Chains A and B, each alone.
Chain A
Amino acid sequence: MAEFNETDQTPTVDPKTPNLGDSTTSSQPKPEQITTIDVAVPIPDVGPQLQVVVEEFILKSGSDDEEVRTAATNELRDFIEHEEIGITTLLVVVKYAHEVKNVDLLDAFCERVADLIKDKKVVEVREIFGIVNDFTPGEEQALRYEHPWAFED
């Protein structure tokens, strides 16, 4: 498991970083590579286990080998599903992935959030995202009237 030395200003990689098992990249990513993936931006508090998984994924997603990236994505997806991570935490990572512009990370977590809000009722979605309803009752009724079948239970 890669561990980050949080007292350092410049991020380095622990020598125990697992070998990515690929001959085209060195097992230890060069420091320039790390700063471009931008793990220098700290991941917000999502719990130690998820934090480590996300960091590892970010490293692997920078790999040149497509197989490595695919394997990492599948692993991440399985992990997220298996651990039943809550939507609030998922959204934290989504926001983070967007900020650091990691497309694969964003993809994986967005998929999961989409799976969780699928088939949810309007009030449930509002609660999850902390959104206040700004429609008047009349406006909301009109919207439902457009496609009544979508709101049947």
Chain B
Amino acid sequence: MAAELSFDVIEQLLVRLDVEDLIRCKSVCKSWQSLISCPRFVKAHLNHAYDNDRHNPQLGHRRFAMSGITNVDDWLYMDDTHIVGSCDGLVCFSPEDVEFVVINPSTREEKKLPNPPFRPNMAEIIMTREVVCWGFGYDSYADDYKLVAGFRQTYSKKRTRFYVLSLKSNIWRVIGEEVMYRCREGIDGVLCGGALHWFMAAAKKKVIISLDLSKEEFKEISLPTEDEGYKWNGKHRLGVIEECLCIYSCRSPLSTNKWVMKNNKWQLYNDHNCEAKYDVAHHLTGRLHSSIHYYSHDDGTRVPCNGDYIRASLFIKSLVSPYPHLNNYYERQTRNTKPGQEQEVNKSVESSAKGNNIRKRKRNRCKTYPKHKRPLVWI
């Protein structure tokens, strides 16, 4: 009698299960395996998880962070594991320097990404992270996840060149022209509304730069004005509150002086309801076994809402795979053992990046290419 249940009904049941239960349920029978693995179910499960969290009146946000989160950028002192960002249950982090790994800590899948083809002027900087800003998010047009990294040649240089890697393509390419901004504090891009945001400076102006991940276009967002009662200082950072972009002070996040952007306008945030709510922070845990890293996360700790964790990326437990179009485990394994092939492509991106001055003139003639559809490799 139970076997007469239609797939619609079985999907209704399965969509409510945890990731670990679903992994086991894949082994029940072939039709269940097929149902759980298909992209449609993965999205339905993801959306159900988001809805659940949204309907919990006491939950502020579910977030992902390193254990022992600090509010200050510590890249000056440590070239250590740093979380770049998290989206739909995928977490991107940098174990050191500008290496990148994407994991789904709930399914424990991992994917090492190729290094970006950028070489800073090492004579003038101590480590590459000094001149980097980065972010991770979702492109809804392409249904793909993207890692973005912006580089300056040296610490004092005022222009940043941005590169992007999408999980489906697995290669780096340049986004548009160099932008006349530089990022000094808060190098992790804050994901909000399908765009990554950073505090940046141009000449003497402080501004927020947003990068739309689908259109790959940059936009300037002005800070609140002095008339509105806002004064920028070096301790301000960007974060997310109630799914809106927020400016807060990293020295005292619980102080009420927070600014939130709603309907494209800045307003002072009223967090009187905060005491009744909490955030849940999941921390990255890892272990090394036979020189292979296994990453996971803890069950989540309750932390004060809109406090130290404002900057931590939003998180959800999901089935989303770092290998977006490979359903089969063995396909993923063989893909991993072909680093040579990937490096070749990246070398050609790198060599074309060096010849920038020449390329710029040619690029101006190619006006028929929309920015996000530029050929992946410059010839």
Instruction: Give A contacts to B, CB under 8 Å.
Output: 88, 91-92, 94-95, 98, 106, 110-111, 113-114, 117-122, 125-126, 128-135, 140, 142-147, 149-151
User: B12 is contacted by which of A106, A120, A135, A145 (Cβ under 8 Å)?
Assistant: A106
**A98 and B2: CB pair below 8 A?**
no
**B2 and A114: CB pair below 8 A?**
no
Supply 23 A–B pairs (Cβ within 8 Å), ascending by A. A88-B2, A94-B5, A95-B5, A98-B6, A98-B12, A110-B12, A114-B13, A114-B16, A114-B17, A117-B13, A117-B17, A117-B21, A119-B21, A122-B27, A122-B28, A126-B28, A130-B1, A133-B28, A135-B27, A143-B33, A146-B23, A147-B23, A150-B24
Within 8 A of A (CB), among B38-59: none
Q: Which 9 A-B pairs have the closest CB atoms?
A: A114-B16, A150-B23, A146-B329, A129-B2, A130-B3, A130-B2, A122-B27, A143-B27, A98-B9
**A129 and B3: CB pair below 8 A?**
yes
Known pairs A94-B12, A114-B16, A129-B28; list 10 more (Cβ under 8 Å): A94-B5, A95-B4, A98-B6, A106-B12, A131-B3, A131-B32, A135-B29, A146-B329, A147-B107, A149-B108
**B17 and A134: CB pair below 8 A?**
no
Chain B: CB-nearest residue to A128:
B2
B373 within 8 A of A: no
Chain A hits for B26, CB < 8 A: 143
B30 within 8 A of A: yes
**B17 and A91: CB pair below 8 A?**
no
Q: How far is the CA of A111 from the CA of B28 in the complex (A)?
A: 20
Chain A hits for B4, CB < 8 A: 95
Separation in Å of the A132 CB from the closest CB of chain B? 7
Separation in Å of the B71 CB from the closest CB of chain A? 33
With contact pairs A113-B13, A132-B29 given, residues A88 and B1 touching in the complex (Cβ less than 8 Å): yes
**A142 and B21: CB pair below 8 A?**
no
Q: How far is the CA of A131 from the CA of B28 in the complex (A)?
A: 8
Q: How far is the CA of A135 from the CA of B32 in the complex (A)?
A: 11
With contact pairs A135-B30, A142-B329, A151-B24 given, residues A110 and B16 touching in the complex (Cβ less than 8 Å): yes
Separation in Å of the A103 CB from the closest CB of chain B? 10
Q: How far is the CA of A122 from the CA of B26 in the complex (A)?
A: 9
Q: How far is the CA of A118 from the CA of B17 in the complex (A)?
A: 7
Q: How far is the CA of A131 from the CA of B27 in the complex (A)?
A: 11
Chain A hits for B178, CB < 8 A: none
Q: How far is the CA of A126 from the CA of B4 in the complex (A)?
A: 13
Q: How far is the CA of A26 from the CA of B107 in the complex (A)?
A: 51
Chain B: CB-nearest residue to A144:
B27
Separation in Å of the B322 CB from the closest CB of chain A? 14
Residue from A98, A114, A145 whose CB has the most chain B CB atoms within 10 Å? A114
**B21 and A110: CB pair below 8 A?**
no
Chain A: CB-nearest residue to B8:
A98
Chain B hits for A98, CB < 8 A: 6, 8-9, 12
Chain A hits for B12, CB < 8 A: 94, 98, 106, 110
Q: How far is the CA of A117 from the CA of B9 in the complex (A)?
A: 15
User: A129 is contacted by which of B5, B17, B23, B107 (Cβ under 8 Å)?
Assistant: B5
Chain B hits for A121, CB < 8 A: 24
Chain B hits for A146, CB < 8 A: 23, 329
Chain A: CB-nearest residue to B21:
A118
Separation in Å of the B47 CB from the closest CB of chain A? 15
B18 within 8 A of A: yes
B25 within 8 A of A: yes
Separation in Å of the B267 CB from the closest CB of chain A? 29
